């Protein structure tokens, strides 16, 4: 039994998967396995992983028979995991060399079963972080509850705690039958984290940025679409009763507030998407049908414009506002 299993869901990740897997194999804590679940890739993702598998027996490739989405792929990797702990890595991201050693050491010191770290956001094609998930000095730790995560994950904002990539004792997953949602919703990793928190009570958050989050292409400058928000809302409905209002009233209230926030963004997209396509009449008709939605339009478009400006600013090589902290 390895000490930790790192699970990776991969779909058409050929340009990135080698860096991610090699960042795990290069960890100072070597008692590990890397399980890559390929979700029906049409590129050379499997070829890259098979080559790594031939070089290092700690790498394992799981081929899904169909393309089932990230939740389906992560569950396939979880079923193959044999480690005492489980860590999550997205196929286009990578770890700092001491990540697993530091986090498992701090989890042992604190007697925790769920731990996560700060993240460095790096725009593709650049070398240094644009920003950190949380702009706080490294070295400190703090406990986060489900309430803290819900409060710290506001739709459309930066620094959202729902982006955390946790490490959890596999015993917690097995005892409480915790799996990723495989429906066509959006945000399955967020609810997987909340499900873990429901049973651990808290998460140890390490402020060291040991996880590198790759922001690909132009996607960072674009807002989610109306359909994305609807998928997000549908998934929330599946988990709206995850926390009992009688025993966890604040948490249940925060879940309900999340639904209202998502609805607000759906109403914004009802007006913004026709405007982006030049369909002013359609946007006007929708505004007349829902005049209260106009109050979401200006701040929403301002945020989208700001993201596009920042993307161009960083891509042109302007100074970055997040330094690389030593780890």
| pLDDT tens across the length of the chain (327 residues) | 899 999 999 999 999 999 999 999 999 999 999 999 999 999 999 999 999 999 999 999 999 988 999 999 999 999 999 999 999 999 999 999 999 999 999 999 999 999 999 999 998 888 788 899 998 777 899 999 999 999 999 887 778 999 999 999 999 999 999 999 999 889 999 999 999 999 999 999 999 999 999 987 655 445 688 999 999 999 999 999 999 999 999 999 999 999 999 998 898 888 888 888 888 888 888 877 877 777 766 665 555 554 554 455 555 554 444 444 333
Q: What is the pLDDT of residue 300?
A: 58
Q: What is the token pair recorded at 3?
A: 């000490």
Instruction: Name the class of domain 4-221.
Output: alpha beta
Q: In b/e form, how buried is each residue of 93-103, taking b as 16+ CB within 10 angstroms?
A: bbbbeebbebb
Ranges of each domain in the chain: 4-221, 226-315
Q: What angle do CA 314, 132, 189 make, to 5 degrees?
A: 110
Q: What is the pLDDT of residue 306?
A: 45
Q: What is the pLDDT of residue 323?
A: 41
Q: What is the pLDDT of residue 203?
A: 98
* Beta-carbon count within 10 A of 126 CB: 13
pTM over 0.75: yes
Residue 126's contacts (CB-CB under 8 Å, 6 or more residues apart) are 314, 315, 317, 320
Q: What is the pLDDT of residue 251?
A: 97
Q: What is the pLDDT of residue 205?
A: 97
């Amino acid at each position: 039994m390895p000490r930790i299993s790192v699970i990776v869901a991969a779909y058409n990740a050929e340009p990135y998967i080698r860096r991610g897997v090699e960042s795990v194999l290069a960890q100072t804590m070597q008692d590990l396995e890397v399980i890559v679940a390929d979700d029906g890739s049409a590129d050379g993702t499997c070829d890259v992983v098979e080559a790594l598998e031939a070089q290092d027996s700690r790498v394992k490739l799981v081929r899904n028979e169909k393309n089932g989405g990230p939740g389906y792929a992560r569950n396939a990797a979880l079923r193959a995991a044999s480690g005492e702990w489980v860590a999550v890595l997205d196929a286009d991201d990578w770890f700092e060399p001491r990540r697993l050693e530091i986090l498992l050491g701090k989890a042992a010191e604190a007697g925790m079963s769920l731990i996560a770290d700060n993240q460095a956001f790096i725009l593709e094609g650049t070398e240094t972080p644009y920003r950190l998930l949380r702009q706080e000095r490294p070295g400190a730790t703090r406990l986060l509850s489900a309430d803290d995560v819900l409060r710290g994950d506001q739709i459309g904002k930066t620094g959202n705690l729902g982006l955390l990539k946790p490490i959890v004792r596999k015993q917690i997953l097995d005892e409480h039958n915790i799996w990723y949602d495989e429906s066509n919703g959006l945000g399955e990793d967020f609810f997987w984290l909340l499900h873990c928190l429901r049973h651990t009570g808290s998460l140890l958050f390490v402020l060291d940025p040991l996880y590198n989050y790759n922001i690909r292409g132009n996607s960072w400058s674009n807002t989610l679409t109306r359909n994305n928000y609807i998928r997000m809302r549908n998934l929330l409905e599946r988990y709206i009763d995850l926390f009992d209002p009688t025993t966890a009233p604040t948490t249940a209230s925060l879940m309900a507030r999340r639904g209202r926030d998502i609805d607000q963004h759906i109403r914004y997209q009802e007006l913004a998407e026709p405007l982006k396509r030049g369909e002013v009449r359609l946007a006007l008709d929708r505004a007349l049908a829902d005049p209260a939605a106009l109050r979401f339009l200006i701040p929403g478009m301002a945020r989208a414009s700001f993201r596009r400006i920042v993307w161009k600013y960083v891509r042109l090589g302007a100074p970055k506002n997040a330094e690389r902290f030593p780890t």
